[in-house]
Amino acid sequence: MREDNDHSLKNISMKLTTLLAISTGKRVSEICNIFLSNTKLDTDIVVRLPKTKNSEKNIPNHFLTIISYPEKALCPAATFYEYLDLTKDIRGKSDQLFIAYEGKKKGEPISKDRLSKWIRLYLEKANIFTNPHSIRSNMSSQCALSNIPIKTIIEVTLAKMILDHHKEH
């Protein structure tokens, strides 16, 4: 994918949702449920996610870590901070991270359907035609096709959730 130099709020909104989906493996509903009051901002960003209908039932606190990468153009944490800066003047009292960037609902929280559309549109810009629901399995498949050991894929996708849980207890 070519470097994306478009720093408009629309583009950064779509870029951040896509980077979070790809880098964390979280469902669209989980990404949509990121609230600023549950977020610890640092080099890496830690978010406590609320329970959803698909959350693991036996894990009381579900955490998401947004890791900082050296390549700023692909760094979810850097994009997160850029998004916060771009939305600070229109945010109002909304605690939900993702807000509408235009129209009558500008500054108001968005739905998971809208977030899903942002991801799909951003992927299409890169000529990747898949739906957001398939990102987790597609990323695992791409890792396997790239000769990344299955053990590593499992550790990154499944065990990370368990490790995050145990760090808190």
Residue 69 has pLDDT above 60, yes or no: yes
User: What are the boundaries of each domain within the chain?
Assistant: 9-167
Considering the domain delimited by 9-167, tell me its CATH architecture.
Answer: Orthogonal Bundle (1.10)
Residue 113 has pLDDT above 90, yes or no: yes
CA dihedral 161, 165, 167, 169 (to 10 degrees): -170
Contact 46, 63 (CB under 8 A): yes
User: What's the pTM?
Assistant: 0.76
Tell me the mean pLDDT in the region 24-51. Answer: 88
Say how far apart CA 103 and CA 13 lie, in whole Å: 15
Residue 159 has pLDDT above 80, yes or no: no
Residue 118 has pLDDT above 70, yes or no: yes
Say how far apart CA 20 and CA 122 lie, in whole Å: 12
